[in-house]
Amino acid sequence: GNVYDVLPTRILSPHNTDKAIQNYNEIADKIVAKGHFGAYGLDDDHEMFRETFKKFAEDVVMPHAEHVHRHDDIIPEDIIGGLKDMGCFGLCIPESYGGIQPNDKPDNLSMLVVTEELSRGGLGIAGSLITRPEIMSKALLKGGTQEQKDKWLPLLASGERMAGIMVTEPNYGSDVAGVSVTAKPANGGWVINGVKTWCTFAGYANLLLILCRTESDPSLKHKGLSILLAEKPSFTGHEFTYTQPEGGKIEGKAIGTIGYRGMHSFEVSFDNYFVPAENLLGGEEGRGKGFYFQMEGFAGGRIQTAARAHGVMQAALEAALRYAQERAVFQKPIYEYNLTKYKIARMAVILQASRQFANHVANLLDDHKGQMEATLIKFYASKVAEWVTREAMQIHGGMGYAEEYAVSRYFVDARVFSIFEGAEEVMALRVIAKSLMDQYAAG
């Protein structure tokens, strides 16, 4: 059952090219003979979980994936409803708050397994649905008052409240500390003014996490930021406007994207939008701590991005293998050529390595370790997803460039991973390198 049963440890033989080719051929032929790309290395419970969500992805998600992508549509209700019934939105919420995570310890591996299978079914219409509730619930668990946890976590777990995360602004993306949207004290609460951007699912969402500047002293930088939770009605279109009874207004317009379609990512403007005082995360104590609360969710978001990349890679790899066996060129299936076998085997090896690394990091995160490693695996999986989907497209020849083949969708979907949840350059320099230097300095 171990991954090495399918993938020999000694794959590359730099001093023996014939042996290296033979090793790759052997891997590819084993993949075909066994009908899978290698074991996932999960225990029975997680494997059962994986099978359940794999079936849901194949039965409910996949039939919608092409249509939504090509028409830039919204996620169909049967996907959201089905995932609510399965408790999916409560994956990162402890049982005592209505979720399905054990109370004593997080279970990041379950989250990875579910995310990968849903992303294999469709990145934009399923694979990313649990990212927002995860980021919001982690921030709530870290910084929320008891009343806030009791109120919002069960609503997030059941899917009654769908989350939108509003951190990025037109002038501040990687440089989160610069966030300029303001929240000023008003009668019984706060009023928000300014523009956020790239807020995924902000139209459909009815609960928004907004990182905003509550302290007017600019020298405070990231210590002047707080998190407000704002409610709004749910909308399904590419644009929305809502005026509150108090007169405040929120307006959103979706940004057209090449992939990652289904949730729509919005530019959103706030005009004196009112949020009651009780929705300041952490209460008065939470003022100026928004940056830290939101960071708590980001490690989870990053490892989840690795799982999303694995799901897209898996789908691309399966499509490539299928096409290679069906399509004959120079009188024989493309799969019969050594170079194709090499490509298939190499894609499988890289995907397996990335998946096993992510599983390891999930266990570290369960023990509240592995923050840097979560960024590292997000970086790696995002990068290799571009290569794997590129090779899968290449194996399809001209048809890889045709919209009618799903592999073209996998290619454009994969491109987003290196950009969101932290752009790769910033992750490399300011998180990974910095953390390694700090570790070195600490001996």
Ligand X SMILES: Cc1cc2nc3c(=O)[nH]c(=O)nc-3n(C[C@H](O)[C@H](O)[C@H](O)COP(=O)(O)OP(=O)(O)OC[C@H]3O[C@@H](n4cnc5c(N)ncnc54)[C@H](O)[C@@H]3O)c2cc1C
C-beta of 419: minimal distance to ligand X in Å?
A: 5
> Least separation, in Å, of the C-beta of 201 and ligand X?
7
CA distance 124 to 158: 21
H or E element: which one contains 295?
helix 290-326
Sole window of 106-114, 165-173, 333-341, 396-404 interacting with ligand X (rule: CB under 6 A): 165-173
As measured in angstroms, the least distance from the Cβ of 374 to ligand X is 16
Closest to ligand X by CB, 419 vs 436, is 419
Q: What angle do CA 54, 56, 61 make, to 5 degrees?
A: 105
Which residues lie below 8 Å from residue 83, measured CB to CB, with a gap of 6+? 56, 89, 118, 126, 129, 130, 159
Q: Closest Cα to residue 77, out of 125, 143, 133?
A: 125
Q: Give yes or no for residue 62 binding ligand X (CB under 6 A).
A: no
* Residues 6+ positions from 328 with CB-CB distance below 8 Å: 334
Is residue 76 within 8 A of residue 83, CB to CB? The reply is no
Classify residue 72 by burial, with Cβ atoms within 10 Å: 0-12, 13-18, 19+: middle
Q: Which range binds ligand X by CB under 6 A, 24-32, 138-146, 160-168, 379-387?
A: 160-168
* Nearer residue to ligand X within complex by CB, 225 or 320: 225
373 classed as catalytic: no
Q: CA dist 78 to 64, 83, 250, 415, Å?
A: 10, 8, 28, 27
List phi, psi (to 5°) of 368. Answer: 60, 30
Nearer to ligand X (CB atom), residue 395 or residue 416:
416
Nearest to ligand X of 324, 416 (CB atom): 416
Q: Minimum distance from CB of 440 to ligand X (Å)? A: 20
**142: enclosing H helix or E strand:** helix 131-143
From residue 402 to residue 421, what is the string marking binding to ligand X with x (rule CB under 6 A)? --------------x--xx-
Cα 180 to Cα 20, 167, 175, 432, distances in angstroms:
55, 10, 11, 26
Residue nearest to ligand X (CB): 173
In whole angstroms, what separates CA 36 from the centre of its chain?
A: 24
CA distance 56 to 53: 5
Which residues in 169-198 contact ligand X (CB under 6 A)? Answer: 173-174, 198
Of the pair 45, 425, the CB lying nearest ligand X is at: 425
Q: Is 165 in the site for ligand X (CB under 6 A)?
A: yes
Chosen residue from 168, 305, 340, 354 binding ligand X by CB under 6 A: 168
CB atoms within 10 A of CB 36: 13
Cβ burial of 284 (10 Å; 0-12, 13-18, 19+) is exposed
* Contact (CB, 8 A) for 299 and 365: yes
Site track for ligand X across 261-300, x = CB under 6 A: ----x-----------------------------------
Site for ligand X in 130-149 (CB under 6 A): none
Specify the pairing of strand 249-254 against strand 207-213: unpaired
Q: Which residue of the set 116, 169, 373, 421 is catalytic? A: 421
Q: Sign of the CA dihedral 198, 199, 201, 203? A: negative
Q: Which of residues 241-260 bind ligand X (CB under 6 A)?
A: 257, 260
Nearer of residues 68 and 344 to ligand X, judged by Cβ: 68
| CA 350 to chain CA mean position, Å | 19
We find the least distance from the C-beta atom of residue 438 to ligand X, in angstroms, to be 17
Least spacing, CB of residue 389 vs ligand X, in Å:
16
Min dist CB 422 to ligand X, Å, is 6
Which of 119, 148, 200, 314 binds ligand X (CB under 6 A)? It is: 200
Binder to ligand X among 402, 429, 433, 436 (CB under 6 A)? Answer: 429
Query: Given the complex with ligand X, which of 60 and 123 has the nearer CB atom?
Result: 123
* Nearest approach, Cβ of residue 423 and ligand X (Å): 3
Tell me which stretch binds ligand X (CB under 6 A): 58-66, 136-144, 167-175, 384-392: 167-175
Segment near ligand X (CB under 6 A); pick from 71-79, 94-102, 317-325, 423-431:
423-431
In the complex with ligand X, the residue whose CB is nearer, 162 or 321, is 162
Is the CB of residue 133 less than 8 Å from the CB of residue 299?
Answer: no
Q: Which residues are catalytic?
A: 421
- Binding residues vs ligand X (CB under 6 A): 165-168, 173-174, 198-200, 257, 260, 265, 416, 419-420, 422-423, 425-426, 429
